Structure 1
Amino acid sequence: MPSRNPARLTRLEGKIKSDRLHGYVGDISDLSDASRLRFLMADDLGPIDAVVASLGEWWEGSPLLSLDPAVWQRIISDNLTSHFMVARAFLPALVDRADSVYLTLGGIASVLAVAGSGPISVTGAAQAMLMRVLAAEAEGKAVRLHEVDVYTPIVTEDWDGGEIEPGWLSGRDVGAFVADALTPGFGGGLFLQIPEDTTFRRNEV
């Protein structure tokens, strides 16, 4: 797992306590550093079989018409450009590797316009198109691509978002679904939604 923050990796390693977790300090929003991490990981652990790109963060604030352009640029960089950089650095290592998977995580704001979170809706929708283009360009290749759209808040052990509503997914729920999607022979399409009975659907045409 890469992170720009060594302390975050240390906390995660202390919480997970697994010899299968390997932390790497680096900036995946920078193409040269993301590429460095890719080669370092491959040297340490062997060929890369799967990438899970869980990037960016939620944001609430001003309406778009009064949004500070600097905030817009930051969110575009954190929530969209970062996805391009990771795909640019890591996906070439997967395209011809049998049973390889490139998977991203998305959310409901990409299909539902959320007032006050406009940059999140815009970057989420653009991320989905990025995945469509990557899938089109990888057609006929060995790699399998998915975007997992999580249509509830994700309740983690550190949850501080107030009352938890019935049906909201936990981090373990999402992790288990992602693990299934990474399994060889998984038959899902490009876009996967959880909960699977959600009324929101992304048009894959």
Structure 2
Amino acid sequence: MAFNGKTILITGATGNVGSAAVKEFLKQGASVIATSRSKASLDKLTAKLQEKSVPTEKLIPITVDISNDQEVSKVANQIREKTLPEIDHVISSSGPWWKFDHLYDVTFEQWNEVMSANVNPHFIMYRNFIPLLLNRPGSSYTLVTGASGLIDEIGPQKIPSGITGITQTVLYGISRVGRYETRNSAVRFNELLISYRIEDDDTYNKLVSEGKISETDKFFTSSSKFGTIFPKIAKSNVKSEVIKIGSATDLEEFEKNQA
């Protein structure tokens, strides 16, 4: 299997995107350190993987608040001390936490709450784990972002992107700096910018069965169908790029180019 002997660290591992990455890497023989704030969510993830006959012997679930620098630093130190395996690839996919109110209606407490959920974890992950990969040949770091920072309104309901869009804009800045300052290092730092809807498999299948969406819909997909992109990025030579995936066609084109 392509990732035997490799270890992948995935944040937001119980979300639609993160869980897809966990599943694909496990299927390809990797050890996966999967993080979440909730042990119950990690237990549910493990059970779902087992239901789908995905091997979980190499799954290492860790309950950690990745918006807490001290907790994340402990995980990084466990890797340095080899009580956790050395990592080869990082998928930073936590958030976003949605807040749709107009910006002028957002309190300072709400501002801090959303920044803590959507921005701080990515900075904390970067500062703790990029140093472990800078000189590691073949390593990669993928920062997952969304398109709400590029638009004013979301969906047919025309909901203002608001503070959620602002947090994504900040992540674009982290990506730009990360791509620049790692450009001459061994690690391949890339941003994966997703601008179409990814649902968990059960929800997706339900919507298809109810006729609400079609399996040929290019702008709506399941986490399993999307998850195949992560091993492709990890195995590719793509470096210091923004990988923009806005439809199933974009996904197919990227994967074809990496074959």
TM-score (norm: length of structure 1): 0.86
Partner-residue secondary structure (3-state), 1:23: strand
Are 1:56 and 2:95 counterparts? Answer: yes
| Equivalent residue number for residue 202 of structure 1 | none
Residues 197/13 of structure 1: CA separation in 2 closer, same or farther (3 Å cut): closer
Distance in 2 between the 1:193 and 1:109 partners? 13
Distance in 1 between the 2:136 and 2:61 partners? 23
Structure 2 residues without counterparts, runs of 5 or longer = 1-33, 51-55, 154-158, 251-259
Question: Which residue of 87, 96, 111 maps to 2:135?
Answer: 96
| Equivalent residue number for residue 31 of structure 2 | none
Are 1:5 and 2:57 counterparts? Answer: no
Question: C-alpha displacement at 1:125, in angstroms?
Answer: 1.2
Comparing 22-31 with 37-46, which one deviates more in the overlay?
A: 37-46
Amino acid at match of 1:40: Q
| Equivalent residue number for residue 193 of structure 2 | 149
Comparing 187-196 with 70-79, which one deviates more in the overlay?
A: 187-196
Distance in 2 between the 1:196 and 1:6 partners? 32
| Equivalent residue number for residue 121 of structure 2 | 82
Q: RMSD of the alignment, in Å?
A: 2.2
| Equivalent residue number for residue 203 of structure 1 | none
Question: Which residue of 20, 25, 28 maps to 2:58?
Answer: 20
Distance in 2 between the 1:159 and 1:60 partners? 22
Partner-residue secondary structure (3-state), 1:28: coil
Q: Determine if contact 2:69/2:124 at 8 Å carries over to the other structure.
A: yes
Partner-residue secondary structure (3-state), 2:60: coil
Partner-residue secondary structure (3-state), 2:77: helix
Distance in 2 between the 1:87 and 1:101 partners? 12
Residues 173/189 of structure 1: CA separation in 2 closer, same or farther (3 Å cut): farther
Distance in 2 between the 1:103 and 1:123 partners? 17
Aligned residues: 197
Partner-residue secondary structure (3-state), 1:2: strand
Q: Determine if contact 1:80/1:126 at 8 Å carries over to the other structure.
A: yes
Comparing 34-43 with 8-17, which one deviates more in the overlay?
A: 34-43
Question: C-alpha displacement at 1:64, in angstroms?
Answer: 0.9
| Equivalent residue number for residue 241 of structure 2 | 190
Question: Which residue of 164, 169, 179 maps to 1:125?
Answer: 169
Distance in 2 between the 1:174 and 1:188 partners? 20
| Equivalent residue number for residue 39 of structure 1 | 77
Structure 1 residues without counterparts, runs of 5 or longer = 199-205
Deviations 1:6-31 (A, max 9, x none): 11111111111321221011121111
Are 1:111 and 2:150 counterparts? Answer: yes
Residues 196/148 of structure 1: CA separation in 2 closer, same or farther (3 Å cut): farther
Amino acid at match of 1:92: P
Share of identical aligned residues, percent?
25
